[in-house]
Amino acid sequence: MEIPYTVKPRPDTGLYNAKLGIWLFLASEVMLFGALFSSYVLLRVGAEPGTWSMGLMDLLVGAGNTMVLIASSMFVVLAWAELKQGNLAGYKKWKWATIACAVLFLFVKWGYEWPSKFKHYDVWLNNATVLQEKFDEGYHEVASHGDHGDAAHGADVEKYVKKIYTTRFFKEESKDSQLAFDDAWRNGTLALSGHINAYEEAQIDVRITGWKADAGVSEDAADEALVKQLAKQDTEDAAGLRLNGGYLREKTDYDTAKRAEYALGQAGFTVALSVAGYKRVEAHPWMWRTKRATEDIGGKPRVSSIVFELDYSHHKGIITLDAGDIKRLSAYEPKHSTFFGIYYTITGLHAAHVFGGILIMLYNMLPIGLGLWHRDREQFTNRIESFGLFWHFVDLVWIFLFPILYIL
């Protein structure tokens, strides 16, 4: 079956079919992104003062990525112009340039912007006094700016924290920002922002405290399950452990301990986990949530303390946070706040469009896609024009996203 009007315009619409199709698709896209944009505005306007972290966005990266996308939008239309003139080599040149720009855009987004946020944390404490002590400890050196000879304390630190807070949530100081900050400072609802440099991770003892013969598991099967969890696989040890109880593993890691607890629980054992001690781990962990640090293991937290490097402290504000003081801990991931929720939704949907575009462009560069050029040049040119319309739309969305996300 031959598809009609791939080259000639259909008399009643005045367009070749693919072009009308792509415009209709773009119309549906306008409504899709329009719904998200208006949701963003709704959430932005309705946000409580001091909850919209727009000051965290790196404007330079945003502007750079805008330029990259603008360039790609221009290259794609130049590729089409080359085809119009019958120049396949010119088309390939511009198309590769477009693909390179699109890949660069996604690389910046998925390789730098997002991952750096997943390692960046806010920590809320459950005590205003402790919070102020931590601010003092972390910022007393940088807050002084050398004006005071010695390091600054108290009011100077408060001023420094206020500046960071205002830039992040309000950009400029105003009556609203003043009120919101005073409130948050007094009530201790401010977050400590920065990176986790190291932490004290629990070393866990796994102890067998009993075995229920009536749990529906045979002795042999229970011993077999036990052997699997032993460090040294020895059947005699297993029988002894089952009858008398005792330590299965000592100072093991969380995953091993939890796995043993679950598997042995299935085999009718009762298992007790306890923290034998803590081992320091030097790492910048990804995507931690509150429970990852504070989970209770036999009465002690999984992480006893966190070595936290505060933002804007020029690497001097390194403080230690006890797990007991932590109310909430979250990386800058979607669940962090409404702001990051809508931020990842919109930029994620846009990035998915860019990714899809790259796949289509690659198809149109491969022999299978180029085959059409050799069969019907005009149809291929139209196909590239239709793709170009989609690609310009992706650029258009970003043109609006840039001021909304990075500036407002």
Partner 1 sequence: MSDSHDSPTIPDLIKKFYFVGGVLVVGTIITFVIDIMFALPLALAAVLGLLIALVKASFVVAIFMHYKWDKKLIWITWTMVLTFFFFAGMMGLIMWAEGDVPKLDSALAISTGTNEMPTIWIILASLLGVALPASFTVFTVKMLSQPAPVEAAAPKARRTAKKKS
160-179 positions binding partner 1, by CB under 8 A: 171-172
Among 58, 59, 210, 277, binds partner 1 (CB under 8 A): 59
- By the rule CB under 8 A, 38 interacts with partner 1: yes
In this structure, the number of other CB atoms found within 10 A of the CB of residue 138 comes to: 25
- By the rule CB under 8 A, 388 interacts with partner 1: yes
Q: How far is CA 399 from CA 311, 332, 343, 405, in A?
A: 30, 24, 15, 11
Distance CA 215, CA 174 (A): 66
Stretch near partner 1 under the rule CB under 8 A, chosen from 79-87, 148-156, 258-266, 356-364: 79-87
Distance CA 12, CA 194 (A): 61
Closer to partner 1 at the Cβ: 110 or 402? 402
Under 8 Å between Cβ of 170 and 177: yes
Closer to partner 1 at the Cβ: 73 or 305? 73
Closer to partner 1 at the Cβ: 70 or 287? 70
Under 8 Å between Cβ of 165 and 157: no
Among 153, 259, 328, 392, binds partner 1 (CB under 8 A): 392
Closest approach of partner 1 to the CB of residue 3, in Å:
14
- By the rule CB under 8 A, 95 interacts with partner 1: no
Residue (of 102, 11, 109) closest to 388 by Cα position: 102
Under 8 Å between Cβ of 273 and 228: no
Distance CA 194, CA 210 (A): 45
Distance CA 188, CA 180 (A): 12
Among 18, 53, 78, 181, binds partner 1 (CB under 8 A): 78
Closer to partner 1 at the Cβ: 168 or 300? 168
- By the rule CB under 8 A, 7 interacts with partner 1: yes
Size of the site for partner 1 (CB under 8 A): 59
Closer to partner 1 at the Cβ: 309 or 395? 395
- By the rule CB under 8 A, 61 interacts with partner 1: no
Residue (of 339, 308, 319) closest to 406 by Cα position: 339
Q: What are phi and psi of 376, to 5 degrees?
A: -150, 100
Closer to partner 1 at the Cβ: 47 or 130? 47
- By the rule CB under 8 A, 16 interacts with partner 1: yes
Distance CA 59, CA 121 (A): 20
Helix (H, G, I), strand (E, B) or coil at 305: strand
Closer to partner 1 at the Cβ: 290 or 345? 345
Q: Which residues bind partner 1 (CB under 8 A)?
A: 7-16, 19-20, 23-24, 26-27, 30-31, 34-35, 37-38, 41-42, 45-46, 59-60, 63, 66-67, 70-71, 73-74, 77-78, 81, 84-85, 171-172, 378, 382, 385, 388-389, 392-393, 395-396, 399-400, 402-404, 406-408
